[in-house]
Amino acid sequence: MDAVSYLSQAERHCAQRGCRLTELRRRVLELVLRHDGVVKAYQVLADLQRERGPAAPPTVYRALDFLVEQGLLHRVEALNGFIVCEHFECHHDGLFLVCQDCGRVLELDAAQGLSSLCAATAQLGFTIAPQNLVLTGTCKACLA
Amino acid sequence: MDAVSYLSQAERHCAQRGCRLTELRRRVLELVLRHDGVVKAYQVLADLQRERGPAAPPTVYRALDFLVEQGLLHRVEALNGFIVCEHFECHHDGLFLVCQDCGRVLELDAAQGLSSLCAATAQLGFTIAPQNLVLTGTCKACLA
DNA sequence: TGACTTATGTTATACTGTAACGCTAATCCA
DNA sequence: TGGATTAGCGTTACAGTATAACATAAGTCA
């Protein structure tokens, strides 16, 4: 999906949920979109500063948190980063495959993988919450 | 396993591997053992300072890194923490179930769970590296 | 309009982790 | 044994990540 139609869908998504995709939040989302893969908060902050002058960390973190809440971004904890969610219309758990060599990130739906883990942990009485999973490894291109 | 026998096994483990469980490393391991579940590096640092006076972060991080290398501890990236490995004799991937409510951590062997994920990602040509997995959820006690 | 809520700006600081340098203690080998 | 070499540790300084707390501005609605 190109950035423009992604943004307009995001706009509609927020409207439906009765929350405001403000100028700042939209701008932050665009900045994340512009990057391929995972972006760091401080990278976004730097980009934002280049555009609009002085800005402090909370400005960016608040916008990112909002976007994660709305399902537009994933927070990838293991990488201290954020990544655009490709399918924010349906709720889902993300499964991220991070290549150790090239750093590229693939996103899958984790439902399948998680269900088998769910079954295993259910025996212990442990209930798994919805969440993103990050697996590191080596991608096709880097293996070759 | 109680701390004393754990430490003596750790001692033997290191000797077999031809590396030195020095006084400092042993001390750090003891401090981690003393905590139930996941410990933060800076918590260990604080404990160490209380015992031996001034100490800086690298002192603790180096010892922790060593212990992770030897398989005595797991580094739990998603939590920025460290936890004692219950079965360091066999190499394995850890699967950590972290309770959102009480913070307690269960360790399982991740081999089973990972294998199904492995199969899924293999179709994409992605090879998963050995790693620890963290799942958050709610434990038996907190569900009740 | 005025009261209220939400969003943003601003300052300061906490937490996590590492680079780089130098010294000391252990190990090795001629 | 003694000199070279390496491993371990102390120390300083700093980079990167994240949030608390308070002030201000902008939107909302009676």
pLDDT (mean) for B6-21: 93
Counting the structural domains of chain B, the total is 2
Q: Among all chains, which residue has been given the structure tokens 């919450």?
A: A129
Quick one: tokens of A19? 């929350």
CATH number (domain holding residue B100): 3.30.1490.190
Integer-rounded Cα Rg, in Å, for chain B is: 17
The Å distance, CA of B7 to C1' of C27, is 25
Which of chain B's residues have a Cβ under 8 Å away from the Cβ of A106? Answer: 124, 126
Question: A104-113, B36-45, B72-81 — which one is most confidently predicted on average?
Answer: B36-45
Burial class from Cβ neighbours inside 10 Å (0-12, 13-18, 19+) for residue A31 reads buried
Contacting residues of B for A112, CB less than 8 Å apart: 120
Q: Chain A, 39-78: which CBs lie within 7 Å of strand C?
A: 54-59, 62-63, 66
Does B69 reside within a domain? yes
- pLDDT for the residue numbered B12: 93
**Least confident among A76-85, B11-20, B63-72:** A76-85
User: How does pLDDT run along chain A (144 residues), one tens digit per residue?
Assistant: 788 999 999 999 999 999 999 999 999 999 999 988 889 999 999 999 999 989 999 999 999 999 999 999 988 877 889 999 877 766 677 788 888 777 788 888 777 777 888 888 888 899 988 777 888 888 898 888
Domain span at residue A136 reads 94-143
Q: Which of A42, A66, A84 is the last residue of a domain?
A: A84
With left for phi above 0 and alpha for psi between -120 and 50, is residue A4 left, alpha or beta? alpha
Q: Cβ of B121 and A77 within 8 Å?
A: no
Q: What is the pLDDT of residue A116?
A: 80
User: What pLDDT, in 10s, does the model give residues A67-93?
Assistant: 999 999 988 877 889 999 877 766 677
Same domain membership, residue B44 and residue B8: yes
Q: How far apart are CA B39 and CA B27, in angstroms?
A: 14
Which residue of chain B comes nearest to A119, CA vs CA?
B113
Tokens representing residue B57 in the block: 């972060």
A117 in the same domain as A55:
no
Cβ B62 to strand D below 7 Å: yes
